[in-house]
Structure 1
Amino acid sequence: MTAAEKLIAEEDAHCAPTYRPLPVVVATAEGAWLTDVAGRRYLDLLAGYSALNFGHGNRRLIEAAKAQLERVTLTSRAFRHDRFAAFCTQLAELCGMEMVLPVNTGAEAVESAVKTARKWGYRVKGVPVEMAKIVVAGGNFHGRTTTIVSFSTDPEVRADFGPYTPGFEIVPYGDLTAMRSALTENTVAVLLEPIQGESGVIVPPAGYLAGVRQLTRERNVLFVADEIQSGLGRTGRTFACEHEGVVPDVYVLGKALGGGIVPVSAVVSSAEVLGVFRPGEHGSTFGGNPLACAVALEVIALLRTGEFQARARELGARLHAELGALLGTGTVTAVRGRGLWAGVDIARTVGTAREVSERLMDRGVLVKDTHGITLRIAPPLVVSEEDLDWGLAQLRAVLGA
């Protein structure tokens, strides 16, 4: 038994089977490359579901973390610390907003946004107590807490976790008519992913986000954009909403905000919206801790240069041109995405997306499948043209295109 096989067997024996990872055991990583316990290198075309937008071991982020580790890592929100004000101020400025509610994981940020919208609905909009409704889209993936899975349409995520939390209405993604019909005087928010990641990198029809923005303004409803995967440079803009000139009322951020080093997430909005909270009504022991703030501040500094957004645009055009050329070859049935992010539907004659992922792994490329037929491709934004081209060449070889 190899070292990797021993580690995999030990993991499978003692870890709850909530994931089915590819049989590769990573030991080190740098940039867009991973190295396993046997010393074999792999090109990372997933980037931790966009948590690693700035690459593995980004030196600026590592140095920021190391410097903060030597000073103070946690105070809890019981006390103030010297990185917190800068983090909140600069993240609010990046978003064009006023206030930040810091938490840890993406799901925690979504839960916090749900609570924020409901409280705003009762305190500001005047919705009767216990009557607040939030409209969401079918095919969504916002996390895996009991409340969030309550409004999922994916049986794999939702089944066996009831009773479910009420207060949500699900409409088809991309359907403005259905959205319009769903909004009532008790609707406090529309919660959407500007691009649905887990569903297969689903880009909505042109004008959809702008239409939702108009409807929510007309009906005095908050537009909450879950940019946990799509935001912070992935699509070629700081936020995916920018592709339609849309500014939501609330951003929900995570993943890349922690630079692949620590979990950092946040709800970012106006003072009117986040100002509804009073001390003790919401909180997080680790939310906004000094280490998280130090790393996130460096992430914000990286994004301010515009370099990573530009790389996502330029390399994204290259990615989509290469993937688009696979259409009509009998191996790929659809390609979707924006920027350095793509969902590729594999023809059933080629095999399942999982099987294609395994074949790519054997050739030194790591991607992830979803929903049986779709490969998700989202390399770190630091990937080189040469490495991206090589990875796509491996995909063509695996598909026999």
Structure 2
Amino acid sequence: MEKHWLFRYKLYHLPFWVMYHYAWWVVSYGDPLRAANTILFTPSAVEFAFYVVFQAVAVYFNLYYLIPQFLQKGKYQAYIGYLLLTLVAATLCIVGGYYLIPTPDDLCFFGFVGKALPGTIASMTLAMSIKLAKHWMQTKERQQLLEKEKLETELRFLRNQFNPHFLFNSINSIFFLIHKNPDVASASLAKFSELLRHQLYECNDHHIPLDKEISFLENFIELEKLRQNKSTRIQVHFTNNPVSHLSIAPFILMTFIENAFKHVSGQDANWINIHLETEGEQLLFTVSNSTTDKEYSQYSGIGLQNVKRRLDLLYPGQYTLIIIPNTDNFTIQLQLNADAYNATETLPLAI
């Protein structure tokens, strides 16, 4: 649901800025009623309006443009330079308001700057303090949720994915291959070993290299092929682009592939299509499989709520998940910033 326009454009912040500047005027005049009368019924209302508008513009320009574009990206010199320019520009705009109203003769341009500049610095410092405090609390809360979600996910996969049924079927398939095709059996056993090692030892970090995750998925798919009917048509494509510089949270992609194999239709014309491509830092992932009416009703809710929750925690605002359920096939399309997880140590700021 689209946000209400009042919240979308941050207009609910306006009363805060009015009260904030009114408090300064109360301190300056020493009388709340006199300060209110001066603001409302004298030419000083123009001065007050200039302070409210231009200091707010400077604050939001810093919070929503300079910080995301420069500070969060480590461009500290550029950030400091643009921040100083913002301070100067806001101060000069406020000074311009003094020339629109009668002022004491002993005040000049530098006197106006001496009044406007400290107030602008104070406003921007206050806003950044609030922002950083809120960011710190959100970071702590999200890290706690991520830790809890990660533990629950690992336990679920160890219980459900590597359950006795999966283990025994994979071992039996490899056992029969030993006599039939020793070379294939040896390769399958190596894949099985790598699969276990990845699950038990290499997924302890919050994010892992994308190429390792792809290797894990390839091993899993090859083992699943041993268990599928020969009539099952499985098409797999993983990107040919370099991905060593990208990272991803473990088990995100695995959820969709595992469910595709688990709920593929048992008919003769069953099929599974898996496609992963990258465009820069964007990862495009599609999994589709044939289903029956029975499997469709079961698959439509399994694991999806959990993976959506993990995506919300791990990639807030950095992913798009499209689910296309039909009575004879099921498709998911996931697009996410494969490098965004590296930034979750410094989570996106929001106010």
Give the TM-score, by structure 1 length: 0.22
- Which is richer in helix? 2
Q: Greater relative contact order: 1 or 2 (C-alpha under 8 angstroms, separation 6 or more)?
A: 1
Give the TM-score, by structure 2 length: 0.24
